[in-house]
Amino acid sequence: MARMSSNLSIDWLEQLKLTSDRQTPYLRIHGVNVFVRDLERSMAFYVDQLGFTLAYDARLPSGDRWVAVALPDGPTVLTLIARRLDSDEYKYVGRQRLVAFATDDVMAKFEEWRNRGVPFDQPPQSESWGGMYLRFEDPDGNSFALVSHDSVTEAIEAQRREAAEKMEAERRMGQELEIAKQVQARLFPQTLPALETLEYAGVCRQARQVGGDYYDFLDFGNGRLGLVIGDISGKGIAAALLMAHLQASLRSRSATAFEQPEHFLQSVNQMFCESTAESSYATLFFSEYNDKTRSLRYANCGHLPALLLRADGTLERLESTGTVIGLFKQWSCSIVERPLDKGDTLVLYTDGVTESFNDADEEFGEERLVAALRKHQGQTAQILLESILAELIKFASGEQHDDITMIVARGR
């Protein structure tokens, strides 16, 4: 017979389901005392033959052993009490009258227990009140009954249907989320347009199946490349849908980005405002690199400052040049231009990078990000990206709480 290594059976405790909407004090039968002669023999009967769960097996301060078994489908326990032959309580052995167990199928339970060696004087009997009834005894003569009633059967079937429907809904939700994850993965750049003077790489490591972080590489033609990163307000499916909407807005209007970048971003903001809820918004860092002139034009729309580490070790922070996308219909931003020479490194990132924290609740922060950037500055863009991500994951070794998205670009 199986034995526990601890005093409490976790399997049994997990069946204690409390509803949070009750206004009255919680109440249910916790246990029934059953006096027995031999604990080991009784435990073998209730656990091995009846299929009950061992809920307690503890030694009390008095030295007495406290053993309880629980019904397999409910939290009520039978406390098995063994007393010495000369004790006053020994006279209660075999006098338990009458504990009734309810089931939705007396005949099936009867066959199961009989096959396990439980002795029965007679098979289940149909009763005038519309149910079935069966009596049996434990090895000490304590009496028990097994009963079924139409109302009990109906209630159990209703619970089973509810549980099955819940499991099916969860299965469908998981399947739909997996499909959404695959669809969103295809929204991220699948190819990288080749440039002569710039190498670049990007990554999005999502905290959930889908998320609201966004990065993109937009091919404007003639050696011009858009480097874009954004962070949608909210999380989960809602943020993922807004992320897809923002990407569609940017790509559908990208033809005007080179000649009129400010007007381009204004039209993206207008579309976002008109087709999303008032509280929805996105931070966005939009930049356009010219392969011929080695110049970078950018607009920082409420996003975290990009980091531009020059070949000589000088660090520039590309601060905000406008507010977030999607909150205000009257919106504008400034376009700033910077050179991006050989050996210069640009890093765009979302707050999931700097706000990742370790077990001591310390954030990775911009300072550690800059240190990692300086440490690996001489590597290629892809290896540099992977090296920073590895340091971040090592630092925040626990559960990931937010999407981690980065773009690294390096002049060559």
Section 400-404 average pLDDT: 81
Q: In the chain, what are the domain boundaries?
A: 10-161, 176-411
Give whole-number Cα distances, 93 to 35, 44, 100, 226, 286, in Å: 5, 17, 18, 84, 82
Neighbours of 252 (CB within 10 A): 11
Please report which confidence band the pLDDT of residue 185 belongs to, taking 50, 70 and 90 as the band edges: low
pLDDT, tens only, 82-119: 988 888 888 999 887 788 888 888 899 999 999 999 99
| Under 8 Å between Cβ of 325 and 281 | yes
Task: Tell me: pLDDT of 202 over 50.
Answer: yes
| Under 8 Å between Cβ of 60 and 13 | no
Lowest mean pLDDT among 257-266, 319-328, 375-384: 257-266
Nearest to 268 by CA among 245, 288, 289: 245
Please report which confidence band the pLDDT of residue 335 belongs to, taking 50, 70 and 90 as the band edges: very high
Tell the residue number behind the tokens 């690294």, with chain if given.
408
Task: Tell me: pLDDT of 3 over 50.
Answer: no
Task: Tell me: pLDDT of 1 over 50.
Answer: no
Section 19-39 average pLDDT: 75
Q: Which two tokens stand for residue 168?
A: 């099916």
Instruction: Report the relative pairing of strands 198-205 and 404-411 from DSSP bridges.
Output: antiparallel
CA distance 54 to 47: 7
Task: Tell me: pLDDT of 14 over 70.
Answer: no
pLDDT cut 70: percent of the chain above it: 86
Q: What pLDDT sits at residue 210?
A: 63
Task: Tell me: pLDDT of 393 over 60.
Answer: yes
Task: Tell me: pLDDT of 392 over 50.
Answer: yes
Tell the residue number behind the tokens 């980091």, with chain if given.
307
Task: Give the three-class secondary structure for 90.
Answer: helix
CA distance 342 to 339: 10
Task: Tell me: pLDDT of 160 over 80.
Answer: no
pLDDT cut 90: percent of the chain above it: 42
Q: What pLDDT sits at residue 24?
A: 64
CA distance 412 to 153: 75
pLDDT, tens only, 69-81: 998 887 789 999 9
Question: Which position has the higher pLDDT, 124 or 174?
Answer: 124
Q: What pLDDT sits at residue 44?
A: 94
DSSP 131-190: SEEEEEE-TT--EEEEEE-HHHHHHHHHHHHHHHHHHHHHHHHHHHHHHHHHHHHHHS-S
Task: Tell me: pLDDT of 370 over 90.
Answer: yes
How many helices (DSSP H) and strands (DSSP E) are in the chain? 9, 18
What does CATH list as the number for 176-411?
3.60.40.10
* 45-49, 104-108, 275-279: which is most confident: 45-49
Task: Tell me: pLDDT of 293 over 60.
Answer: yes
Section 109-130 average pLDDT: 87
Q: What is the mean pLDDT of the chain?
A: 84
Task: Tell me: pLDDT of 59 over 70.
Answer: yes
Task: Give the three-class secondary structure for 43.
Answer: helix
Q: What pLDDT sits at residue 322?
A: 94
CATH fold for the domain made of 10-161 = 2,3-Dihydroxybiphenyl 1,2-Dioxygenase; domain 1 (3.10.180)
Nearest to 47 by CA among 90, 80, 81: 80
Residue 228 neighbours by CB under 8 Å, 6+ apart: 214, 215, 216, 217, 218, 250, 284, 285, 286, 287
